[in-house]
Amino acid sequence: MIKILLVDDDLKSSMLLKRFLEVEGYNVTYASNGNMGWELFNSDHPDLVLLDINMPGMNGFELAKMIRKTDDEVLLFFLTDRTERDDRLKGFSLKGNDYIPKPFYPEELIARIKERFENRKHEVPQNFIIGNTLFNRNLSNVTYNNHTVSLSLRQTEILSLLAEHLGSTVDRKEILKKIWGDDSIENSLALNVQITYLRHILKDDNSISIVSLKKKGYILMVN
């Protein structure tokens, strides 16, 4: 069940919205101010935060900034009567996923929530756990035993293809065509070099290996 944290100091409107969301099947937690919202965010780990901006104490922008310091994945929707251009731009600069002016129809909010989570089902993952190694495609690095190594663009692209098909063969020609555009001899030699670099980088107590299959391709394996 999708967990939603609603942070808004308007108790009456919030309770109505909370009930509406719960009828739609969402698990909703309510906080009446930013400080309480921060506490509940850390304890409940919601999938979506609905944020008012004008609140006593910590406002919605401040809370969003704190959340984004610790979590890049959670969805943030601003629900507010502050509709000026600068406010909207600030909301999106804080990596808000949506900015919905008040008053709004609850059905519109539900539609936006459903659309966001439906799209997330088709998103390509940015992090891969390979054995005891974390591969962050977005940051182009791998981390093992608290040691992080940066990857080149080519290495990131190759490792992404292999990680997406962990334990399965990835055709050599497919790699060459997707990353270099063709399977010429020069590009084939370049692929050999990058695979050698990746094998050196992916140490992980020798539990990770990139297996070559002659005239076929490569398999990323966790032993």
Contact 205, 132 (CB under 8 A): yes
Structure tokens at 133: 């190694």
pTM check: above 0.85:
no
Q: What is the pLDDT of residues 103-148, one digit of tens each?
A: 999 999 999 999 888 876 655 567 888 888 999 888 889 998 888 9
| Cβ contacts of 123 within 8 Å, gap of 6 or more | none
Q: What whole-number distance in Å separates Cα of residue 37 and Cα of residue 114?
A: 23
Task: Give the pLDDT of residue 137.
Answer: 85
The b/e string for 69-87 (b: 16+ C-beta within 10 A; e otherwise) is eeeeebbbbbbbebeeeeb
Q: What separation in angstroms does the CA of 164 have from each of 16, 71, 128, 199, 206?
A: 43, 23, 8, 17, 20
Contact 18, 30 (CB under 8 A): yes
Q: What is the pLDDT of residues 145-181, one digit of tens each?
A: 888 999 998 999 999 999 988 899 999 999 999 899 8
In the chain the domains, ranked by start, together with CATH numbers, are 3-121 (3.40.50.2300), 127-222 (1.10.10.10)
